[in-house]
Amino acid sequence: MKMNEEALSDAFEKIKASEGLDVGTLSLAWLIVRGDKAAVLTDSRDEVKLFDLNGKLCFGYSCDDPDDESYFEAIDFFENSFSGGAEDIITIDSQQTDKLIAENISELNSLHDGKMDIRYVCSIFKLNKLFGIPSEDIQDSFYMRFGAVGENGRTMLYHDIEYLQNDAGVYECIDDFTLNADTHIDKDTVRVIKISKQALTEFIYENFVAGQEKYLDVKATEVSDYFEFDPETGEFIFCAVKSEDEDGNFLTLPENIDLKKVMKNISDTAESVFEPSEKIYRDYTKSELEKLSEK
């Protein structure tokens, strides 16, 4: 594979100029190629963008999670909607490329016992070094992405076959990995979860148990948990008591404390559980809760 590095660097300079882009804010940049289409994909940790080789922004996708694989969205756009040529920017030895594609499709077909249709999606070149982007691993490489399509015509898995250029300038396979296609969602899909009241209660309770050290300022190994949920009002109460006294005797919430009544007789202890700088709980004595249970 050969590419016109000077022309490609010029294309990246156009992108920087058009976006006011600071390469120090980028974690990765790729060149995506398939046939006569080529585009630059940038990743600034919380947003991926796709540009044509004239520096024009063609696609942007923001994400809250830096580990989110949101580049899937950009690659989907490139594969299905992007149009652009790679004239004078990159030239790929089609004979070598076609050979690698054919070899990979054959191997992946064997891996899936012919139960899935394997298709070539695109080639993606990591070009941090060429583009001057700081990185712990600045060694540039490229990989070919293949999709494994099930009987229903839906892509089930992506296979990425990664190559690295050796000292002789020949690309050698160094890794292959599989990605579950369900980790991303396309623009026409609505992915749905519907659960019962019992499942919702369990979900809320388990999340409070998992976060009780942060929410209640306790050690999970030293307390016992109690909760109630009112499906009519949507109110939820969660509390913890010390599980043992100094002599090792087990402690519990007194039986005459009715959390459903307590819930109706106290005000909310917090407007939100997502206020890390604020205390969201309130301390009561057991006798105070007993009195609230009598109202």
Residues near 76 by Cβ (< 8 Å), separated by ≥ 6? 184, 186, 187
Single pTM value for the model: 0.60
- Read out DSSP for 267-286? --S-S-S--TTS-------H
For the chain, 295 residues long, give each residue's pLDDT as a single digit of tens.
567 888 888 889 988 888 888 877 788 888 999 888 899 999 887 788 999 998 899 999 887 665 566 778 888 889 888 988 777 777 777 777 888 899 999 999 998 888 889 999 999 988 888 888 876 655 667 889 999 988 777 888 899 998 887 777 677 888 888 888 766 666 677 878 899 988 888 889 999 998 899 889 999 999 999 999 998 898 999 999 999 988 889 999 999 999 999 999 999 998 888 765 678 899 999 999 999 998 8
Buried b (16+ CB within 10 A) or exposed e, 88-102: ebbebeeeeeeebbe
Listed by start position, the domains of the chain span 2-183, 197-294
Distances (CA, A) of 53 to 38, 43, 167, 168, 213: 7, 16, 29, 29, 51
